[in-house]
Amino acid sequence: MIPVNTRRLGGAVEEVLEETEEHIISRDGLGRTMKLLKGFASIPLPLDYPVLNMDDWLRIKPWYKSSEARFEEGWEATARDHLQQDRAVAVSIPGGFDEPRQLLGEEGVCLAYYDQPELMHDILDTIGATACRVLDRVSATVPVDVLFVHEDMAGKSGPLAGPDQIAEFIAPYYRRVWDMLRERGALLCDQDSDGD
């Protein structure tokens, strides 16, 4: 994986808010209040989400803007080393369902497709523009072989978004990034969906 960041950059101060014998309540980098049940779980669950509406999104939108800080020092050398060692050159982008889900929650995202479509379009336009700027520079430096998408948008009974929502919101985001990389020789788009 090339050491560049197409995900959130920056965020809230992470801190433990409360700890008892039964649980830990903390604030994560997205500003969510998280609860971890001791002895029962290894992943904390969100109790709230940072985005309920467009105003909330506009407050944290700068975390998703493009900047030079998205390129780790030595990223070009790492990319060229992958080529020299005949390893696949891989890059990643946040999922078009998963990243908004982290911001709004599963129910919030599913409702926003209907109640706040402009919010969903702006979130995906923003992360898509940043991904394209970062990966345009990477793919101009070295050929990219694999685009990896961390999506987590499904379970064993099927996807959490329907075909209409995928076609309107998520697919254009994927296409924007994938088409650019494919035109430059990328061979594989690997989506981790977590389900059917």
Bigger pLDDT: 193 or 167?
Answer: 167
What is the mean pLDDT of the segment spanning 70-85? 94
CA atoms within 13 A on the CB side of 182: 9
Q: Residue 62 has what pLDDT?
A: 97
CA angle 56, 61, 66 (to 5 degrees): 175
At 115 the pLDDT is: 97
CA distance 89 to 4: 12
Confidence of residue 41 (pLDDT cuts 50, 70, 90): confident
Tokens 């904390």 belong to 44
C-alpha angle 16/22/28, rounded to 5°? Answer: 25
Distance between first and last Cα of the chain: 26
Percent of the chain past pLDDT 90, that is, above it, reads 89
The residue with tokens 């030595």 is 74
Residue 193 has pLDDT above 90, yes or no: no
pTM for the model: 0.93
